[in-house]
Amino acid sequence: MFDEIAGNRRRSYLLLFVFVLLIAGIVYAFGLYFELGQYFVVPAVIFALLMSWGSYYYSDKIVLAMSSAKPVTREEEPYLWNTVEGLSIAAGLPMPRPFIIEDSAPNAFATGRDPQHAAIAVTRGLLEKLNRLELEGVVAHEMSHVQNYDIRFMTLVTVLVGTVVLLSDWMMRSLWYGGGRRRRSGGRGGNPLALIALIFVILSPIIAQLMRFALSRQREFLADASGALLTRYPEGLASALEKLSADKEPLEAANKATAHLYIINPLTEHRGKLNSLFSTHPPIEERVERLRGM
């Protein structure tokens, strides 16, 4: 179990490092094409890194509002409150604010930039369809997202993806409007390196999205392992994942902006290895197999 957690953390941070290199590569390719010099990459990368830390302060409030999640008290929902409180004590964390989504499809997510500003939202269907041990497994998974700073981490990754897409779009427009004039005036348009740079800029948004999906899947594996460690009962989460996967009721509260946050993505299904590359979550079968192998 500890090896699983350590391995997922290493792979996640390695992918994040490659993300920064991708941004540097895009800017370098642009500088190469327009003969701006290699030092052009330095201020652009610094700008990208600064952007990545500046846009997450109000993400929790926005996500909860978009999901129609309502805060609850101990008196209103003692079953949920006691579960979240007990696991937060076991994890040594401030208690996340419990929220309920009045939707009969079973699912849950965590949000908040750090443990002091965290919230865990569960659907009414999750409370009604899972037993106590399964509910603890799901809440422990979401608590692990809080403990591992996954929300902050994936917000950072999302900003980096947005930076890559914006840089690529800006550079393509520059190449389209400025590159043609340079070729007509004898610029670097015929340089093989410039052609490679152009291809790299075109492909970079696709590469960035694939890396975001890979990072998201690694954080789900990490939360599964950390949650199993927290409850000391991997079977609870494994059984919950099987129930959630078998339940075909649509989650009406979910949308494309919030679907990746849930413990099971309510908007996608896995149909083979290639399709899983474009998913924010690993296949349920693989997650259950790993949990039962701990």
Instruction: Tell me which residue of 241, 278, 246, 248 sits closest to 260, measured CA to CA.
Output: 278
What the block records as the tokens of 60 is 């929790």
The candidate with the shortest Cα–Cα distance to 287, out of 220, 211, 212, is 220
**Active-site residue among 134, 142, 220, 285?**
142
142 catalytic? Reply is: yes
DSSP code per residue over the chain: -HHHHHHHHHHHHHHHHHHHHHHHHHHHHHHHHTT--GGGHHHHHHHHHHHHTSS-TTHHHHHHHHTTEEE--TTT-HHHHHHHHHHHHHHT-PPPEEEEE--SS--EEEE-SSGGG-EEEEEHHHHHHS-HHHHHHHHHHHHHHHHTTHHHHHHHHHHHHHHHHHHHHHHHHHIIIIIHHHHHTT-GGG-HHHHHHHHHHHHHHHHHHHHHHHHHHHHHHHHHHHHHHHHT-HHHHHHHHHHHHH-----TT--TTTGGGBSS-TT----SHHHHTT-SS--HHHHHHHHHT-
Q: Classify 68 in phi/psi space as left (phi over 0), alpha (psi -120 to 50) or beta.
A: left
Q: By the 8 A CB rule, do 157 and 215 touch? A: yes
**Torsion angle of alpha carbons 58, 59, 61, 66, nearest 10°?**
140
User: Mind telling me the catalytic residues?
Assistant: 142
